[in-house]
């Protein structure tokens, strides 16, 4: 085997080995308020999820006429997934969120939701 083939083979083996290494992503600060809201005094938020430093959350959703959701509980993070826990069991909410840059996205049945960081309305 000549010298050029050895160099090419070494590079290929090295690049292949690098593709199997565990890539550590920089942690994204996720505390804050995510949602879609109009912060006018007369209008309440349409959909807002606030994640606090102490791992508590507040989930406000008032986009369906005649029904609204305003629950609080605790949240945990595993890699790029946020799970909402310890909220009233009789309330149905998006409780699993994926971190997507500065936004959170969730799917519940056929309903897809994406909330991005916003200034808190309240």
- We report the CATH number of the domain holding residue 80 as 2.40.128
Residue 55, domain extent: 32-117
Average pLDDT value for the chain:
78
pTM of the entire predicted model: 0.66
18, part of any domain: no
Check residues 67 and 116 and name the one with the higher pLDDT: 116
Give me the numbers of helices (H) and strands (E) for the chain, helices first please.
1, 8
d(CA 112, CA 94): 9
Total domains, the chain? 1
Given this model, what pLDDT does residue 33 score? 83
- In this model, does residue 21 exceed pLDDT 60? no
């Amino acid at each position: 085997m000549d010298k050029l083939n050895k160099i090419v083979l070494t590079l290929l083996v090295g690049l292949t080995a690098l593709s199997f290494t565990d890539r550590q992503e920089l942690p994204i600060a996720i505390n804050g308020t995510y949602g879609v809201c109009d912060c006018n005094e007369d209008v309440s938020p349409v959909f807002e999820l606030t994640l606090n430093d102490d791992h508590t959350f507040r989930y406000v959703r008032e986009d369906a006429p005649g029904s609204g959701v305003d629950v609080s509980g605790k949240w945990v993070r595993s890699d790029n997934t946020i799970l909402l826990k310890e909220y009233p069991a009789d309330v149905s909410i998006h409780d699993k969120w994926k971190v997507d840059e500065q936004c959170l996205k969730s799917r519940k049945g056929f309903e897809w939701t994406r909330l991005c960081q916003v200034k808190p309305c309240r």
